[in-house]
Structure 1
Amino acid sequence: MKDCGSQFGVGWSIGLVFVFSVLRQPLTLAAEPGADFEADSQAGRTFSTDLKAADDAVIDTRLSEQADEAGRDVADMDLLELVNVKVSPFDVSSQLDSGYLASNSVSGSRFDAPISDLPFALQAFTESFIKDQKPRDIFDIARYSPGVTYRSNDFNEGNANLAIRGFAVGSLAGGNIHTLRDGVHGPSILDFTNISRLEVVKGPASFLYGQVAPGGIVNVITKNPQRRFAAAADARYGSYGEYRFDVDVTGPATKNLFYRLAASYDQDMHYWEPYDAHSWNISPSLLWQPSDRLSVSLKYENFEKIEEPQLMQKPGYNTQASVLPTAADPNLSGVDVPGLPNNWNSMAYSDYRHSNTHNLSTWIDFKADEHWNLRTGYSHLEYDVDALFTGNLGMSNNTTLMQGRRVRQQAYSNRDDTIELQGVGKYDLGFASLRLLLGGQYIDRNFHRTAGQAPNDPALGSNPTASPLPLWDLGNPNTWNRHTAIPLSRLTTSLTDENVNAVDKSVYGSSTFGFFDDRLLLLAGWRWTSTESQYTNRLTGQAQGATASAVTPQYGLLFKLAPEWSLFASYAESFVPGTFPANNLDGSTSIPRPTEGWGYDVGIKADWFDGRLSSTLTYFEILNKNIVNDMALTNSAGGITIYGLQSGEQRSRGIEWDATAKLTDDWQLYLSYSYMDARITEFSGQDHAILAQDPGTLDAAGLANYKNVNRFHNAPLQMSAPHLANLWTRYDFSIEALRGLHLGGGVNLVFDQTLLPDSPANSRQTYALLNALIGYTWEVGGHSMSVDLMGKNLLDEQYRPSQSSRSRPRELMINFSVKF
């Protein structure tokens, strides 16, 4: 059951911090005019082009003056200077954003740069866009980027595993591919309490971030302390009893020390039976800036989620028993057992999953001279999961409705320590401009996993499957006994105690030349990465070590045909060493070979109507070798094994388009579309030779090999979809009679999406998610207040966001916000 005292304490703590900060404000900054956060949370706020240019000129002038007055004390600056001062090119210039329209990015180059100058596709979602979406998970925002789908095995991976252009961004626990948080490894589960921005960089990006998937990277950027006081509070209530509270307070503690505290408490809906989940997030941060050349930041985040019990996917069938599918023995891989209601959950009341994340990071930025800026930083990440589950996700065969139970407890512990040093240089050579990036990174990773399972009860037999508890007849609710519990001390089979230590070392450097007044930009960069890992099975004493290294380049070109039009092309490679043994289909285990990929983008960028319309059209092709795909199979004893299938070659090619528009000062729009052909082009390395054989002449091993190659050769990549389209728009009324009213709405279209690579074609899903927003904003005593009514999945579509997660039903929620 939930810890009510803990919930009460967290809620009071959040409320007291907010009230104290607001009451304290008149005593500390009574003479200081108020200001909004770094990005105004009201998407209707707009800047005219002239005002934006004037702001840029002020900032440039201030920076020029700062360069002439090296080491100037921040305490000596006036208020305007204090707000405009900027030390670090490693932080994105979010003050240049205008509603949904993002001007700059740090994820695409590791330093602050205009998106229009980057020779590849990139989408940046601003704080205004994020606030309008009211997201629960990272996919709620990332899905608007063309070519992005969801890949999480939510029962053991968390919610941060996406796929870009068909390739997974995250990996199973213990893997070394991650969604990034402020440019370094992020946790497997993310909450938006402390996130101000989300950026998606397309294509292989190992040059910038080391071991990353070839489709691209997702980087979430956390909130920074601001130099003026601001405070905001949100309260939300929605369908099936869900509710949430958020507070966000920032401002100066002294003339050169600034603080921020973001905190939240969230109670999820009670729609599924049984299911309960609540979470809280506390994220304080400090920024110390003693001079205009030096700044030191310290950030901490603690996110905890309690699920009692957690939600598991509906049970699904497997592939055919024979070598080839027939009408009597069809392939049902990934197909749900029919007839179960959408709010059904297989978990017992005794099940649980507790997830806890701690993230501490510090960065020191120093302006060495007029040419060079330096940054050094350290990040410590801990992510732990303790779970007990009695529910089952598979079936013993494709005809039965009898499902065995299993009682399994497993715990994951992840630790990640990153040390990084970067330098950005800028020169005017006369005939060209030059931007240099130099850096080095050291990462120490540890992953530890323990697990145990209850033995099957011999008295229950094994027809059609063995089980530690009485079987469920999925067609008979009277057999669904969820009041079961087995002591943890009796979980004595399928024991696991595994540990992985890994060290990643890398150095990188790049140069960007600008010719003809930066109309022609040429980028070239290289990264050397080396990995050493040691896997230990603490039960058997088995140990396996692995080493790998590679040099990954990146090249890019962008030519501005006119101020409104640019052509670009880029080429990059990716490299991901294996560190954790994968289960092979033949029963053996081995550390996978490093995956190696390459890809190129060619396209056009447009910036029309004085910046009111920004758009990118891209053609891409990516080839990747030795990718590991996870596949869960249930055996006749009721056991589940997750196999790692390392395919010979995968390829993705297609077209992506996105556009952000301010049609008027009151109306803004975001659109995206992707066509993607992502598939396994070579599974075994000998696909054509194997498929040319006569199955009637093969022995058992040959038949198994033939079956697997036939299943996966030319199969679509997991959760890929040939067509994805997204639209979101918002209109703020400016006529006096309706001033303060705003409307928003959008749709997410998914067409012919595959679940698993070998799922039958008739199981592919096509659906549309319709969302809408209506709200009103007003002022009381100089403070902004707003109320929003949000509807999500208004058509009540039932679908699978990923191969092993569940869709949420139609949701209606009301949100009240106040800003100080």
Structure 2
Amino acid sequence: MSAVLPPRLRPLLRLSLMLSLSASPLFVSLSYAEDTTRRSYQVPAGSLSGALTRFAGLAGVNLSVDPALVSGRNSSGLTGEYAVEEGFARLLQGSGLQLQPMGEQAFMLVPVPEGSSLQLAPTSILATTDLASGDAYAGGQVARRGSQGLLGARDFMETPFSMTTYTQEAVKNQQASTLGDLIASDPSVRTTNPAGGRYEQFTIRGFSLFNSDVSYNGLYGVLPTYTIDMEMADRVDILKGPSQLINGISPRGSVGGGINVVPKRATDKDINSFTGTWASGSQAGGAVDIGRRFGEDNKFGIRFNGVKQAGDTEWDHQSVDREMAVLGLDFRGERLRLSTDIGRTERDTDAPQERVQVAANASVPSASDVRRNYAQSWSKASTNDTFGTFNGEFDLSDNVMLYGGVGARKSNHDFLRHAVSVSNNAGDFSVQPRDFTRDENVRTATAGVRSWFHSGPVSHEVNLAASHFYMDFENGGARYAAAPSNLYNPVQTPTPSRPTRFDSKVYTENTFSGLALSDTLGFFDDRLLLTLGARWQRVKVDDWTDNVKGATAYDEEKISPSGGVLFKATDTLSLYANYMEGLSQGKIAPSTSINEDEIFPPFISRQVEVGAKYDAGAFAVTAAVFRIKQPAYETNAGSRVFGPNGKRQNEGVELSLFGEPLKGLRLLGGVMYIDSELTHTTNGTFDGNRAPATPKYNVNLGAEWDVPTLEGLTLTSRGIYSSSQYLDQANVKQIDAWNRIDVGARYAFKVDDKHITLRANVENVADKRYWSSAGASDDSEPGLTLSTPRTYLLSATVDF
């Protein structure tokens, strides 16, 4: 779905500040371009003035522009091969402006005469993407632009936050079937639940992120609660730090960052793709991707993605059966843009693994000695999610846009599971079967207005948005008689048949409301961008146990200020800083505590961050220094009571690298360092200790190399490292540092008119067993996550 985008930084070359602020025509004098043939260009979306300036500079031509003609106008940018005039025509499409030659390699921008129409010259496009897809950066693994909720979509060089946007190409080449597979490339993000478990969960900058807090085209709570299939994603935006200003309060109150999944859209080129997959064990399946545009000017689009995969995994008696179907429809008119997405996912897992909890008097188990699946063969997880969204944008004028979206989800979850709590150094634990059901209903909506204008020499982008989120869910279940087992030598126990007791029915309603206002002010021809904003948030939670109103319900509200500043020091270097503050829903006591389902009051988190971004064209480097504060929670090892205990502060440094620094060599990775400290704990007992489940270092580096002697062949590799982590606030129990090496290859070729890509990846080549996570430091259910054994992935994609 197209979107009108915020102002582009406009580094007009050889232009004085006085001229830039005057009303007289601008004349950008640029070097003469000797090569007038088609060339490859990458011009990010943004203000029309900025897009034209960038293209003119890359093409080496002179362009005279009257500021009044382009003020408040925007361009969707371009990516592909163009001659000079056809590139300008693409950028000017729908603007009512056209190019007028003024001599050799010189042009002037003029209005289209009344009664005539602007014709778009035929193009040879290397990569056609819908505006929502963003322009792929060099190397194709990361997009230049990402969605920023209230602030719209922006180029990463114009964003006063730390953000990475992974493309559909990255998803395909990693053979990522779930969100957890994809985020393995990001050093700021880690998975904290077993790959063969009931659900996925992550940390960003050391703080928990649940699937419930992953947005879908900017709407929270719409995507499946437990596992998100990647075949539905056109791109994935990962924003680091509290994001309440731009996205509003999330259902589970994640503060370390946010993830947004952007749905696929039909492109101007027909899409017909089939992918067959196989994974070690006996996982086999297929995926289809079909897209069409039709109608006058291809205004209507339809995109369908379907998946079916089933079979055994590498673990004993474990199997996964998953199905996904997502249909996306869109309309792109001159001023009106609409889209809707309807999806259904089903996932059935036999013998899903759980995190391993460690009793107070037991040592951390040896991960290298865990060679069999400790989950019982009768345990299972069944999740079913049906969801849909509708989004729209309407341009009231060239500088005012209305936008909005609504979404809904209905989910039914049924688990037969057992906790794994090791009670001694021998690895013994008690299998206590539990039947657990959860039914969820979500309704969410957002609406806003965005306006661009100037007050003297200062540009403004003002955003006003309201949001509403409602979710109700009911938990129930039953308990069964316990039986002994062992982590190292699992014992098959009888299938549960007669409950020993039934759990209470717990019904909860969450209602979150918000109203946000922001203004991005541009100074010095938008080289300096200042974003100021605030969001009023109301959090209302009610709960009932067996139809009896709970005592821990609450209704609270707060105004959270945020702001960011970005300075484009040069055409290739941006410096930024931000302060973000947000209100989060209170934690809920987990099933492993004796005060299960108790709801705690909402809390406030705060982040300060400064950073720099360098765009060399072929590759980019970003750096950030940050500090995040929020309350700390724990389940007391002795009393088993869950609750707050002090505060935690994460101070860290991030360094990221992506792009194609050498022809045929692509890099993607980075380093994150975190100093996570506990303060104000009860009686100062744990003050100064490192927060649990937070490694000091995360390192990721992926590389792709196109073999020059065999066209179409690419070799890939990836290394992942995390340093040691503590399991408890006392810093007594600790897991070792770990590293993982993945390798792979792909071969792309053509048979007749069919494009075929074969992919082969091996994850955890050395087949190491290690604890990859100690949970999450602010998580209600701490526990050890066992690494995934060596896994082979094969796929063949046919595009026709």
Same fold? TM cut 0.5: yes
**Structure 1 gap segments, 5+ residues each:** 1-38, 40-46, 172-176, 321-330, 457-466, 636-640, 689-709
Cα separation, 2, equivalents of 1:88 and 1:742 = 27
**1:540 to 1:495, Cα distance in 2 relative to 1, 3 A:** farther
Equivalent residue for 1:259, pick from 298, 302, 312: 302
1:773 aligns with 2:744: yes
C-alpha deviation, 1:187, in angstroms: 2.9
Question: What is the Cα deviation at residue 789 of structure 1?
Answer: 1.8
Q: C-alpha displacement at 1:309, in angstroms?
A: 3.0
What are the residue-to-residue correspondences of 1:604-623 with 2, within 5 Å? 604-608=612-616, 611-623=617-629
What whole-Å deviation, never above 9, does each CA across 1:594-643 have from its counterpart, x for those lacking one? 111111111211112xx112111111111113x44567x799xxxxx7x5
| Residue 365 (structure 2) aligns with | 336
CA deviations on 1:405-462 (whole Å, 9 max, x unpaired) are 32210011222111110222222444022112111011111121002102x4xxxxxx
Task: Establish whether residue 123 from structure 1 lines up as the match of residue 123 from structure 2.
Answer: no
Pick aligned residue for 1:393 from 405, 420, 429: 420
Alignment of 1:346 with 2:369, yes or no, is no
Q: What is the CA-CA distance between 1:234 and the residue it aligns to? A: 1.0
Matched residue pairs, number?
A: 692
- Stretch moving more, 235-244 or 789-798: 235-244
User: Given residue 462 of structure 2, which amino acid in structure 1 is its aligned partner?
Assistant: L
CA offset digits 1:540-599 (Å, max 9, x no partner):
564543101111111111112211222211111121132756789785974312111111
Deviation at 1:222, TM superposition (A): 1.8
1:646 aligns with one of 644, 656, 676:
644
Partner of 1:167: 207
Residues 735 and 771 in structure 2, CA contact (< 8 A), matched pair in contact too? no
Which among 236, 240, 244 is matched to residue 206 of structure 1?
A: 244
Matches within 5 A, 1:57-206: 57-65=88-96, 91=132, 93-94=134-135, 99-107=140-148, 110-152=151-193, 158-159=199-200, 161-170=201-210, 178-185=213-220, 186-188=223-225, 189-206=227-244
In the alignment, residue 169 of structure 1 is paired with which amino acid?
L
Task: Tell me how far apart the structure 2 counterparts of residues 155 and 808 of structure 1 sit (CA, whole Å).
Answer: 8
- Indicate the SS of the match to 2:600: coil
Tell me the equivalent position of 1:680: 678
Report how far residue 197 of structure 1 moved.
1.2
User: Which of 713, 716, 722 is equivalent to 1:750?
Assistant: 722
- Aligned twin of 1:450: 476
Native 8 Å contact 2:137 2:659 kept in 1 = no
Counterparts of 2:342 and 2:95 in 1: how far apart (Å)?
A: 33
Counterparts in 2 of 1:338 and 1:796: CA distance versus 1, 3 Å: closer
Cα gap change, 1:476/1:112 in structure 2, threshold over 3 Å: closer, same or farther?
closer
Structure-to-structure mapping, 1:300-315, within 5 angstroms: 300-313=342-355, 315=356
Retained in 2: the 8 A contact 1:559–1:566? yes
Once the two structures are superposed, the pairs formed by residues 658-677 of structure 1 within 5 Å of their partners are: 658-677=656-675
- Which residue of structure 2 lines up, in the alignment, with residue 697 of structure 1? none
TM-aligned CA deviation for residue 662 of structure 1: 1.4
Provide Cα deviations, 1:174-213, integer angstroms capped at 9, x if missing partner. xxx6122221223322111101211111122111122243
1:740 paired to 2:712: yes
* Cα 1:388–1:87 shift into 2, 3 Å: closer
Give me the identity figure in percent.
18
Q: Contact between 1:108 and 1:201, CA under 8 Å: does it hold in 2?
A: no
1:481 matched to 2:481: no
Q: Secondary structure at the match of 1:231?
A: strand
Residue of structure 2 aligned with 1:799, choices 753, 770, 774: 770
Change (3 A) 1:221 1:817: same
Alpha carbons 1:300, 1:360 under 8 Å: kept: yes
Residue 725 of structure 1 deviates from its aligned partner by 0.8
Mapped partners of 1:584, 1:100: distance in 2: 40
User: How far is the alpha carbon of 1:66 from its aligned partner?
Assistant: 8.6
In structure 2, what residue type is equivalent to 1:537?
A: T
One-letter amino acid of the counterpart of residue 416, structure 2: L
Q: Give the CA deviation at 1:727.
A: 0.8
One-letter amino acid matched to 1:354: S
Q: CA deviation at 1:800?
A: 3.0
**1:351 Cα offset (Å):** 2.5
For 1:817, the aligned partner's letter is T
What is the CA–CA distance in structure 1 between the aligned matches of 2:327 and 2:575, rounded to whole Å? 42
In 1, Cα distance between equivalents of 2:585 and 2:385: 25
Asked whether the 8 Å contact 1:239–1:812 carries over to 2, the reply is yes
Aligned residue type for 1:481? Q
Indicate which of 271, 275, 281 corresponds to 2:324. 281
Mapped partners of 2:270, 2:157: distance in 1: 32
Q: 1:475 to 1:272 in 2, by over 3 A?
A: closer
Which runs of structure 2 are paired with 1:529-678 in the superposition (5 Å)?
529-538=537-546, 542=550, 544-578=552-586, 580=588, 590-608=598-616, 611-625=617-631, 627-629=632-634, 643-678=641-676
| In 2: Cα distance, 1:813 partner to 1:401 partner | 32
Corresponding residue of 2:75? none
Counterparts of 1:589 and 1:386, CA distance in 2: 18
Structure 2 runs not aligned, ≥5 long: 1-43, 45-54, 60-78, 99-110, 776-783
Alignment map for 1:335-414 (pairs within 5 Å): 335-336=364-365, 341-348=370-377, 350-389=378-417, 391-395=418-422, 397-398=423-424, 402-414=428-440
8 Å CA contact 2:758–2:796 kept in 1: the answer is yes
**1:773 alignment partner AA:** G
The change in CA–CA distance for 1:556 and 1:540 in structure 2 (over 3 A counts) is: closer
Distance 1:158 1:342, change over 3 A: same
How many angstroms does 1:754 deviate by?
Answer: 3.3
Q: Secondary structure at the match of 2:171?
A: helix
* Equivalent position amino acid for 1:754 in 2: Y
2:348 alignment partner AA: I
**542-551 vs 593-602, which deviates more?**
542-551
Deviation per residue, 1:633-680 (Å, 9 max, x gap): 799xxxxx7x53323211000110001131234222112101111232
Q: 1:298 to 1:264 in 2, by over 3 A?
A: same
2:485 paired with 1:472: yes
Inter-partner Cα distance in structure 1 for 2:447 and 2:547:
39
Say whether the 8 Å CA contact 1:579–1:591 is kept in structure 2: yes
Please tell me whether the aligned partners of residues 83 and 228 of structure 1 are also in contact (alpha carbons under 8 angstroms): no
TM-aligned CA deviation for residue 79 of structure 1 = 9.5
C-alpha distance 268-769 of structure 1, shift in aligned 2 (>3 A): farther
Aligned AA for 2:719? V
Distance of 2:321 and 2:729 partners within structure 1 = 34
403 and 667 in structure 1: CA distance in 2 versus 1, 3 angstrom threshold:
closer
Cα distance, 1:385 vs structure 2 = 1.4
Change (3 A) 1:217 1:198: same
Q: Which amino acid aligns with 1:806?
A: L
Moved more, 737-746 or 433-442: 737-746
| Structure 1 position 312, deviation (Å) | 3.1
Q: 1:311 to 1:589 in 2, by over 3 A?
A: closer
Distance 1:474 1:407 in 2: 16
Cα pair distance change 1:298/1:653, threshold 3 Å? same
- Cα distance, 1:81–1:270 mapped onto 2, change above 3 Å: closer
